[in-house]
């Protein structure tokens, strides 16, 4: 099993890549205070992009802004599932930046338990957090992207969106995001807008599920890695962030409608079976 070192949450764990593919791009990223979203925001800022991000916790947004070395970060505390708030955030971001060149739908997650315990409200909440928020984000951004002569949309799906595993309400929603990206790539292509889906594998995020399992159940974690992760370790959020930045950049101008797994050839999404 390969050793993957984490660093304390909130600390940048990578520098700029050295290429200027997103320099000056104006990008909205939902859910930028933790996990993958945080790494996307930090990388884009390091590369010279102008970034707007949101989360529900104002203190975390303030801490992020204080630790990112750019004057070009705009933050807003909101719940993306609250009607109208996401839309006004996108509009305000476009106004502050004088337009938009890209959006990243990164907020996502699951509500409820296994199939027989998951209620209708769990399905609805999971759908809205993943698919609903993505659709409203893109719909609101389209006029701004079109006005800029085109742009790039990145939808964060999951390995759970194309490989079976619990919880099914989550997998179904992440699967729908892949379909959404493929369809919108066709529908928005004539406007010069590219749309792609990125599916991370099980990411090793400090303090989150796989990191906790590595600490609390090292034998179970080692068995998970041996069975499902031929790369010898879960993918790191920084690795996924680099792919997202590439898709936002003009360097990827030929890619649209793609579904791009970033999972080191992971097999099952979790050790939880099916």
Ligand X SMILES: NC(=O)c1ccc[n+]([C@@H]2O[C@H](COP(=O)([O-])OP(=O)(O)OC[C@H]3O[C@@H](n4cnc5c(N)ncnc54)[C@H](OP(=O)(O)O)[C@@H]3O)[C@@H](O)[C@H]2O)c1
Catalytic positions: 170
The correct pick among 14, 56, 259, 264 for binding ligand X (CB under 6 A) is: 56
Q: Answer for the pair 208, 157: CB distance below 8 angstroms, yes or no.
A: no
Query: What is the DSSP secondary-structure string of 68-90?
Result: S--S-EEEEE--TTSTTHHHHHH
Pick the piece of the chain touching ligand X (CB under 6 A) from 18-26, 51-59, 96-104, 213-221.
51-59
Number of helices (H) and strands (E) in the chain: give both, helices first: 9, 7
Asked if 75 touches ligand X (CB under 6 A), the answer is no
81/92 with CB nearer ligand X: 81
User: Judged by CB under 6 A, which stretch of 96-104, 107-115, 141-149, 246-254 contacts ligand X?
Assistant: 107-115
Choice from 47, 49, 60, 260 touching ligand X (CB under 6 A): 60
**DSSP state letters, 202-258:** S---TTSHHHHHHHH-HHHHHHHHHHH-TTSSPPPHHHHHHHHHHHHSGGGTT--S-
Candidates 94-102, 156-164, 216-224, 246-254; binding stretch for ligand X (CB under 6 A): 156-164
33 touches ligand X by CB under 6 A: yes
Cβ distance to ligand X smaller for residue 108 or 112: 108
Q: What is the CA radius of gyration of the chain?
A: 18
> Please, which residues have CB within 8 angstroms of residue 83's CB and are 6 or more apart in sequence?
none
Binding residues for ligand X, rule: CB under 6 A, are: 31-37, 54-57, 60, 79-81, 106-109, 129, 156, 158-159, 200, 202-203, 205, 208
């Amino acid at each position: 099993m390969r050793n993957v070192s984490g660093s304390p949450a909130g600390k940048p764990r990578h520098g700029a890549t050295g290429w200027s593919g997103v320099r000056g791009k104006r990008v909205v990223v939902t859910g930028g205070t933790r996990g993958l979203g945080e790494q996307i925001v930090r990388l884009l800022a390091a590369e010279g992009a102008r970034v707007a991000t949101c989360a529900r916790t104002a203190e975390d947004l303030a801490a992020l802004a204080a630790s990112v070395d750019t004057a070009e970060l705009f933050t807003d505390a909101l719940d993306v599932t609250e009607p109208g708030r996401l839309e006004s955030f996108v509009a305000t971001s476009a106004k502050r930046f004088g337009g938009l060149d890209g959006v990243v739908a990164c907020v996502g997650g699951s509500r409820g338990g296994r199939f027989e315990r998951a209620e209708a409200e769990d399905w609805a909440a999971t759908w809205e957090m993943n698919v609903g928020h993505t659709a409203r984000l893109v719909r609101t951004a389209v006029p701004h992207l079109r006005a800029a002569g085109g742009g790039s949309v990145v939808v964060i799906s999951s390995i759970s969106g194309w490989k079976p595993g619990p919880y099914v309400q989550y997998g179904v929603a992440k699967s729908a995001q892949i379909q959404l990206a493929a369809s919108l790539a066709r529908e928005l292509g004539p406007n010069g807008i590219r749309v792609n889906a990125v599916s991370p594998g099980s990411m090793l995020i400090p303090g989150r599920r796989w990191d906790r399992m590595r600490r609390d159940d090292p034998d179970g974690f080692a068995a998970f890695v041996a069975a499902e992760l031929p790369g010898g370790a879960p993918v790191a959020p920084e690795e996924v962030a680099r792919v997202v930045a590439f898709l936002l950049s003009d360097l990827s101008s030929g890619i649209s409608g793609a579904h791009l797994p970033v999972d080191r050839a992971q097999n099952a999404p979790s050790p939880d079976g099916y």
